[in-house]
Amino acid sequence: MRVSFPETLDLCEKILEGRKLGGNTKDRAAACTWAEFCGLDGLSVLSSDLPTIEDEDLPNIKRCEDKECIVLNANHCSSVIYVTVMSDFAQIALKEKKTLFVKGRASHLLLHSLRLLGLKGKSCCMGYRMDKTLVIGVIRSGEAVPSIYKLSLNEGFCTAALDYLGIKNLEKPIFLKQIKKCDEFTDFIEPYSYEVIKAEFLKQQMENSLKNGKAINDDLWQRLKAYASVVLIESSDQSRLQGAGEGN
């Protein structure tokens, strides 16, 4: 059957509350629901926190030779694992004052999740570089404001943006080297405009309506229908339970 995001979110929240895992139930449920919408299950990751991150524990993580940055190659990770690890890395970045490069598949879900990290007071500035096949992100200690740039391959423009992010001169060549691996950059949000993709906008509206006890109006459902391939999934009760760690 076809299931809407709010229905899946509500189910995940109830299951999480029943399991009494602790932590922020709403955040965990939202991450689980996004994972379900990606055809993934994520609660096994979300139900345990990673107190420390060691290279040998997470094979997709490696330090650069110059030790100035950390690279997370997430091409074969689920989005929910990606974002969970990114959250832990954000905390480490604050303590170590490291620049964090993130390389992975192009995903608006990923961009939203990284942006959300900044909005939740993780005290990181973020920049994204995205083409059709690659996302490069940087998370940096600083004010809790997500800074999202549309960069060309013009080095002067890139350097100015890196200055804004507060990246040290020593680190700029490393970052520019990563940027130049992309041929073109598309689908960016300019700083502080906070426009989101239509599916995400619908999700926010639905969540706000549900939170305030309001019915989802016809206009919203019409727009939802137009983006059904993005914001609806084929699912069943059993698969949703499995996705939340409760199915057999």
Check: pTM over 0.75? Answer yes or no.
Answer: no
Q: In terms of domains, do 169 and 225 share one?
A: no
Q: Count the domains in the chain.
A: 2
- DSSP class of residue 192 equals T
> What is the rounded distance in angstroms from the CA atom of residue 90 to the CA atom of residue 144?
11
The residue from 179, 210, 235 where one domain ends is 179
Residues 94 and 29 both lie in one domain: no
Shared-domain flag, residues 34 and 127: no
15-40 per-position pLDDT tens digit: 767 766 555 666 666 666 655 554 33
Residue 173 and residue 65 share a domain: yes
How far is residue 162's CA from residue 155's CA, in Å, rounded to a whole number?
10
Is residue 52 domain-resident?
A: no
Q: How does pLDDT run across 123-148, given as a tens digit for each residue?
A: 333 334 444 333 444 444 333 323 33
Q: Give the span between the Cα atoms of 79 and 60, in whole angstroms.
A: 13
The CA distance from 172 to 156, in Å, is 11
Residue 222 and residue 175 in one domain = no
Q: 95: domain range? A: 61-179
- Mean residue pLDDT across the chain: 47
Q: 161 with 65, same domain? A: yes
Q: Are 150 and 190 in contact (CB under 8 A)?
A: yes
Long-range contacts at 11-14 (CB < 8 A, ≥ 24 apart):
11/240, 11/244, 12/36, 12/240, 12/244
